[in-house]
Chain A
Amino acid sequence: MRAGSPSSGSIAENFNPFSPTALQPARGIIYEPLYYYNLMSSGDPKPMLATGYSWNADGTKLTVTTRQGVKWSDGKPFSAADVAFTFNMIAKTASINTNGLAATAAVKDDHTVVLSFKKTSFVSGPSVLGDTAIVPEHLWKDKNPATDINRNPVGTGAYSVATFTPQSYELKRNPGYWQQGKPQIDKVRYISLASADAATSALLAGEVDWMSAYFPGFDGLMKGKKELSYVNTPALTTSLFACSSAKLGCKGPQTDVAVRQAIYAALDRDQLNKLAFSNVANPGSPTLLIPGRDDKWISPSVEAKTPQGADTGKAESVLTKGGWSKGPDGIYVKDGQRLSLTIQVVTGWSDFISAIDAMTQQLRKAGMEIKSSQMSWNEWNSRELKGTYQLSLNSIGLGPSTDPYYTYEGKYSSKNTAPAGQNASSNPARYANPAVDAAIAAAAQTNDEAAKLQQYAVIQDNIARDLPYIPMVIGSTLTEFNNSRATGWPTQDNLYSFPASWKAWDNGVVLQNLTPVK
């Protein structure tokens, strides 16, 4: 079986699951977490290397029961000591501690480990349980976990590395894998696909069985090939990021909340989906959650979904109420400032660029002028972080679980922003609202869903009004499969995992589920 991996020509060997440049199989296929969180459903996590966990009442101690009978791929038994070692190593090594975990772990018995946190840490649960690769103590105690590239990795996962070259590498089945009868595919080869064009032609030529890429006209191109199928899993909300806080140094009309609300109302999202996104995007939500999957988290006091058609009348009345008046050229003006906005986008992101073209027409009807500015990824990204932009077309990323906390804490907490001119860590909109900050802090203190819901409702009321991120649609994530060598891929009706070939942890679950075609 062959999987495509996006890369830039050559592949650098790196199977260290703690390295930011680790190869995809390191996280999920070779090394496994304690639990698996399926981002496609809001159900409970699936036990992997652990069979149970429990928090103490104030969220400072997490007791994990590890699975028995699991072996490392070198034959040595896996135990709670390995889990404790992994977490202690992360806490000790600042350069791999990307989640800021300060947990110290102690082994209680052979299959019980207790993690102690300094403060209430319910929200660290998903990253501890579902986003941390467990490594063997007997091999890692002498390694430098930050820079070792971990040749010939030994993990608990379904596969281990067979051969490696800078152009492609091969994984082979782990015969002692703890899940009986899995995996059934003997060998998996990863190849490097340098560009979307190369990926497309490799897929159509039957050279690759699993890859995630959007290419224009994919539906028509794949229709002729019976063995090919695809799954669309919209999960990333495409939004207009607005540099929203004049207090933190943002400049431009978008710092006025009336303007953001007017844009929100004036967008014709049906048309955008048709013209720019090949009709494979889904409606988003002003709460930045995913309608359907996240319904239980969306407060009844806000709209669950974004409006689909344009409401120009509403947009104009919002602007008028906000003190804007129409100028002679049909564009609104306030205090001598024309309502003219620049949206920055990355050169070559063709779907985003055509979305902006369509949006320009739509917003023009509501008296707003849009200019688009295309630039390199580097510059686009650096302007966003520095707050030297007006609007930016971007997507909201994934969290470690479906709990909205991770989106809200990252995107709206004033802790994660900085004045314009300095780098903001994850809140480029420069949104700072004490009520939201307080609700985020309160949600972190509890493990009770009802109590969290209350806090999320406060956040949602605020962000649906302030709209520092103006949701457009939930962008598609297309994953393509070739069913002639293996079957059992996730389908639209059976999304047992997030199917993208680049998604850590999910990739292991997909491979375990495949059966070879005879």
Chain B
Amino acid sequence: MRYYLRKLAFYTVALWAALTLNFLLPRMMPGDPVDLMISKLAAKGPVSAETRRSLELLLGTKSDQPLVSQYVDYLGNLAHGDFGISVTFFPQTVSTTIAQTLPWTIALMGIATLISFAIGILLGQLAGWKRGSWLDNLIPVTTMFQAVPYFWLALVLLYLLSSVTQVFPTSGGYDVYNVTPGFNLPFLRSAAYYGTLPALTIVISSIAGWMLGMRNMMVATLSEDYIVTAEAKGLKPRRIMTTYAARNAVLPSLAGFATTLGFVVSGSIITEQVFSYPGIGMTLMSAVQNNDYALMQGVFLVITISVLGANLLVDLLYALIDPRTRARA
């Protein structure tokens, strides 16, 4: 019990530190939202001295308020789940904006990460089981795809599969002309079709890590005494591979997988940028470009919580799966 309490206390401190950084970082950036909005308006039409006053009133920016009292307000509002109002999407609240975009990211990145993990583990297991087979030759190929910068791989695939051959659409989350979002089959089908190419690029570029890790663990596990015993007992090779070797070999990968899940949200920025995908990565980009503190903080908070949450989950689960990791109480 003490183990769990100590873990929880540690994560609470980590969360507080993250929240505080989250508060400070955006405020160190140059410019403020009012200036930004004025300059953007100025590109389209006349802006007078009164515009600044009207925007300050409108956005309610109290830039002369001391940092400490801003910080106290910030923590208080977070406790109520109030992230404030986004400047970019004014007067929409940050919670609404995140609620609109987060599902896209979780669906795309979550499914892609799952697929990548499943395929990688399966191939790694087979490659470790049959060392020296053709599957071993697949590893350098997948590693090459992982070594290529992700945005480059994504751009090349986008060019080949969307611009040249037009197998996949070039941008967006679904066919905006013909379907209406909601739980209906045409929309889900369209969303799946639009998500295939981005998901494909993620799978291709991340599969090597899972495969290599699993293969090597598999090789190490196969030299364990209990595998020899199992073979001596005359168990079927298939059973040895799955329930004896793979089951133990997958442990480190499982831990890695849980951590990766935490990065699902933050890892989507480049993917969404390349494919103009309407997820949270795009939202974060526009928040940064518009000095939208409230929105940035909201998105960072989602990222922080997902990373911390995933880590906590692994920590707790691992103690169950593998008693050796439990601290001596």
Contact = CB atoms under 8 A, between A and B. Distances in A.
A379 B291 CA distance: 10
A406 to B, nearest CB: 5
B152 interface: no
B52 interface: yes
A234 B289 CA distance: 26
A166 B283 CA distance: 12
Contact of A9 (B162, B180, B283): B283
B163 A12 contact: no
B88 interface: yes
Interface in B31-60: 31-32, 35-39, 41-55, 57-58
Contacts of B52: 423, 425
A377 B289 contact: yes
A334 interface: no
A8 B282 contact: yes
A373 interface: no
A402 to B, nearest CB: 12
A97 B57 CA distance: 10
B89 interface: yes
Interface stretch (B11-19, B165-173, B210-218): B165-173
Contacts of A189: 176-177
A504 interface: yes
B142 interface: no
A43 B285 CA distance: 42
A147 B91 contact: yes
A337 interface: no
Contact of B92 (A12, A131, A377): A12
A38 to B, nearest CB: 14
A13 B172 CA distance: 18
A192 B44 CA distance: 19
Contacts of B53: 94
B46 A198 contact: no
B100 interface: yes
With a 10 A CB-CB cut-off, give which of A193, A423, A425, A504 has the most chain B CB atoms.
Answer: A425
A265 to B, nearest CB: 28
Contacts of A442: none
B172 A167 contact: yes
Contact of A426 (B31, B47, B89, B180): B47
A279 interface: no
B46 A168 contact: no
B173 A167 contact: yes
Interface in A378-416: 378-379, 381-383, 385, 395, 397-400, 406, 410, 415-416
A14 B39 CA distance: 20
Contact of B54 (A96, A127, A165, A379): A96
Contacts of B48: 98-100, 410, 425-426
Contacts of B173: 167
B90 A378 contact: no
B54 A410 contact: no
B253 interface: no
A504 B46 contact: no
Contact of B276 (A9, A20, A98, A127): A9
A381 B36 contact: yes
A248 interface: no
Contacts of B36: 378, 381
B176 A167 contact: yes
Nearest to B57: A95
A196 to B, nearest CB: 11
B298 interface: no
Contact of B50 (A100, A168, A383, A399): A100
Nearest to A399: B46
Contact of B51 (A10, A98, A194, A236): A98
B31 A379 contact: yes
Contact of B180 (A163, A166, A400): A163
Interface residues of A, number: 63
Nearest to B40: A20
A8 B180 CA distance: 20
A425 B42 CA distance: 10
Contacts of A194: 171, 273, 276, 282
Residues of B in contact with A, size category: 35 or more
B35 A10 contact: no
A83 interface: no
A201 B171 contact: yes
Given A98-B47, A378-B29, A416-B49, A19 B90 contact: yes
Contacts of A97: 50, 54
A99 B162 contact: no
A166 B180 CA distance: 11
Given A9-B101, A21-B90, A382-B30, A98 B54 contact: yes
A20 B51 CA distance: 10
Interface in B291-326: 291
Contacts of B279: 9
B234 to A, nearest CB: 59
Given A198-B170, A202-B170, A379-B30, A8 B44 contact: no
B278 interface: yes
Contacts of A450: none
Contact of A21 (B49, B88, B273): B88
Nearest to A500: B44
A6 to B, nearest CB: 11
Given A10-B97, A10-B101, A165-B181, A425 B276 contact: no
Nearest to B41: A20
B44 A425 contact: no
Contact of A98 (B43, B50, B171): B50
A377 B289 CA distance: 7
Given A10-B100, A20-B55, A205 B170 contact: yes
A191 interface: yes
Give 5 closest A-B pairs by Cβ, nearest first: A100-B50, A8-B286, A9-B282, A12-B89, A382-B31
30 contacts: A2-B177, A8-B88, A9-B272, A9-B279, A9-B282, A9-B283, A12-B89, A12-B97, A14-B91, A14-B92, A94-B53, A96-B54, A96-B58, A97-B54, A131-B45, A168-B177, A189-B176, A191-B172, A194-B282, A195-B273, A202-B170, A202-B171, A378-B36, A379-B31, A383-B30, A398-B46, A425-B49, A426-B42, A503-B44, A504-B45
